[in-house]
């Protein structure tokens, strides 16, 4: 699974993209409201906590591979 943090411009907010091994988009949500979106896309509480830590620490514009 891959994660990408995208910096918004002007009125467009910052977003997170989560993609599978084939780079198919699995989740796309705003950085400021990730919890609800991650639960909606089927991530459990344990994965949610791990992803939130990664999201908060990672820089914009870098694709990062994460283990499921």
Q: Where are the domains of the chain?
A: 2-65
H or E stretch at 47: helix 45-57
Position 68 scores a pLDDT of: 65
pTM, whole model, 2 decimals? 0.78
Token pair 């591979």 in the structure block, residue: 65
How is residue 7 annotated by DSSP?
-
* Residue 17 to residue 20: CA distance in whole angstroms: 10
Write the CA distances from 33 to 15, 55, 59, 67, 68, integer angstroms.
10, 11, 17, 22, 21
Report, as an integer, the average pLDDT of 54-63: 90
Q: 61: phi > 0 → left, psi -120 to 50 → alpha, else beta; which?
A: left
Position 44 scores a pLDDT of: 76
**What are the tens digits of pLDDT across the range 4-48?**
999 989 888 899 998 999 999 988 888 887 777 777 777 777 777
């Amino acid at each position: 699974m891959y994660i990408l943090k995208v910096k918004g411009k002007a009125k467009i907010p910052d977003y997170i993209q989560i993609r599978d091994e084939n780079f198919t988009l699995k989740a796309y949500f705003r950085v400021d409201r990730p919890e609800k979106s991650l639960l909606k896309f089927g991530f459990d509480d344990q994965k949610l906590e791990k992803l939130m830590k990664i999201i908060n620490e990672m820089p914009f514009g870098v694709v990062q591979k994460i283990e499921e």
